[in-house]
Amino acid sequence: MVAMKDTHITMAHGGGGIAMHALIEEVFLEAFSSTGKKGVQEDQARIVLADLVAKGDRVALTTDSFVVDPLEFPGGNIGTLAVCGTINDLAVGGAQPVALSAAFIISEGFERIRLQRIVASMAETAQQAGVSIITGDTKVVPRSACDGLFITTTGIGTIQPAYHISIAAGQPKDVLLVNGTIGDHGATILCARGDLALETSLRSDCAALHGLMATVLDAVPEVHCARDATRGGLAAVLHELAEASGVCVCLEENAVPVKSDVTGLCDILGLDPLHMANEGKLVLAVPPKYAQQALAAMKAHPLGRDAAIIGQLEAAPNGKGSVHLINSLGHARLMTLPSGEPLPRIC
């Protein structure tokens, strides 16, 4: 195999020849072999069915694309985001992640060292999560066709027979919880773009939530709903829950944990922390009798130290779901979603 000598990605690296093979070998296989077995390069990954059956009675499958700008930011980069985001989409269904695939669309001229840095962080994040990256694809496109790097991932996991978690399973009187401060990722990305002359200590909350979810499921016999609040923030998740379950979501405004830096940034720009993206926030709906158990389980985990009970579900007239924000005086107002995307390319 000829060594890859180029400092930047060229169209030749997507052409199927020597340059492409060097890229795959030295950038991707070199990194991802640490998360799985490095062997013969087949056109597909193979998973032993017996191994899956031993871990659950259902297979969960999810896929996502990542186009964040900037590609690297305090607390992570597009690679960590891709791995964590895919794991989290499995975890909130009660699934234990097993393996991931990763496809890369790379712009001509992209720095090799930067690509290696992002791929290395993907491998490290997957390894820490106990998940293998077992297959993938690479495409190189002209500079005008892609802004740097896009990543698409697919994840597979297994669900145990006892778990039946659904966004449509919320019930009146269920208690809502979140594992920590909201809006950290969205605010961090906004500052990292360099358009604002602001100095903050904000870091993205990008994290794999399957360990936290497993801790909660071990402690709580019944979890009705679980979602990770990503694009659209906490508000988007609550609207999805309200609509799917046909309930009224009552959110206690003062109970929602928000960092002062996030609040300050939102005040300056006229944004709402409830609509800001997150990449490590788990929202749960559990029966009231298990609320304190769920809160204690969250707080006992490193990713749940700032967990809080933030509201509850109520019966909705005619089964038409809605979200209401309750202020400190007990007054409620209807909370709607913004018509557009306040912060594009957030994940």
Helix, strand or coil, per DSSP, at residue 203: coil
CA distance 292 to 85: 27
Q: What is the pLDDT of residues 141-157, one digit of tens each?
A: 999 899 899 999 999 99
> What was the pLDDT predicted at 39?
61
CA distance 28 to 136: 9
Q: How many CB atoms lie within 10 A of CB 264?
A: 13
Q: How many CB atoms lie within 10 A of CB 279?
A: 29
The arithmetic mean of pLDDT across residues 315-341, rounded, is 89
> What was the pLDDT predicted at 104?
98
What strands lie across the sheet with 95-107, from one edge to the other? 58-66, 149-159, 95-107, 132-141
> What was the pLDDT predicted at 199?
76
> What was the pLDDT predicted at 345?
75
* Structure confidence at residue 318 as a pLDDT band (50, 70, 90): confident
The region of weakest confidence among 221-225, 263-267, 339-343 is: 339-343
Phi-psi region of 76 (alpha: psi -120 to 50; beta: other; left: phi over 0): left
* Position 36 pLDDT exceeds 70: no
The arithmetic mean of pLDDT across residues 4-30, rounded, is 90
* Position 160 pLDDT exceeds 80: yes
Domain 175-334 bears CATH identifier 3.90.650.10: yes
* Position 188 pLDDT exceeds 60: yes
CA distance 70 to 145: 17
Fold: same for 11-159 and 175-334: no
Distances (CA, A) of 98 to 126, 129, 177, 270, 294: 10, 10, 27, 41, 25
User: Quick one: fold of 11-159?
Assistant: 60s Ribosomal Protein L30; Chain: A; (3.30.1330)
Residue with tokens 């919880």: 177
Distance of CA 275 to the CA centre of its chain: 15
Domain spans, the chain: 11-159, 175-334
CA distance 90 to 100: 11
* Structure confidence at residue 195 as a pLDDT band (50, 70, 90): confident
* Structure confidence at residue 35 as a pLDDT band (50, 70, 90): low
Tokens of 167: 């966004």
- Write down the mean pLDDT value for the chain: 93
- Give percent of the chain above pLDDT 90: 83
Distances (CA, A) of 57 to 159, 168, 323: 6, 21, 34
> What was the pLDDT predicted at 6?
86
* Position 3 pLDDT exceeds 80: no
Q: What is the pLDDT of residues 216-254, one digit of tens each?
A: 999 999 999 999 999 999 999 999 999 999 999 999 999
Which among 304, 74, 80, 82 is positioned nearest to 186, based on CA atoms? 74
> Is residue 117 classed exposed, middle or buried when 0-12, 13-18 and 19+ CB atoms within 10 A define those classes?
middle
| Contact assessment for residue 284 and residue 226, using Cβ atoms and an 8 Å cutoff | yes
Tokens of 286: 């559990």
* Position 54 pLDDT exceeds 60: yes
Q: What is the pLDDT of residues 301-314, one digit of tens each?
A: 999 999 999 999 99
Tokens of 201: 């200590």
* Position 168 pLDDT exceeds 80: yes
The region of weakest confidence among 45-54, 77-86, 97-106, 164-173 is: 45-54
Helix, strand or coil, per DSSP, at residue 317: helix
> What was the pLDDT predicted at 1?
53
Distances (CA, A) of 293 to 57, 159, 252: 26, 22, 20
* Position 197 pLDDT exceeds 80: no
| Contact assessment for residue 133 and residue 35, using Cβ atoms and an 8 Å cutoff | yes
Between 317 and 250, residue with greater pLDDT: 250
The arithmetic mean of pLDDT across residues 26-46, rounded, is 80
Q: What is the pLDDT of residues 319-328, one digit of tens each?
A: 899 999 999 8
The arithmetic mean of pLDDT across residues 288-296, rounded, is 98
> What was the pLDDT predicted at 294?
98
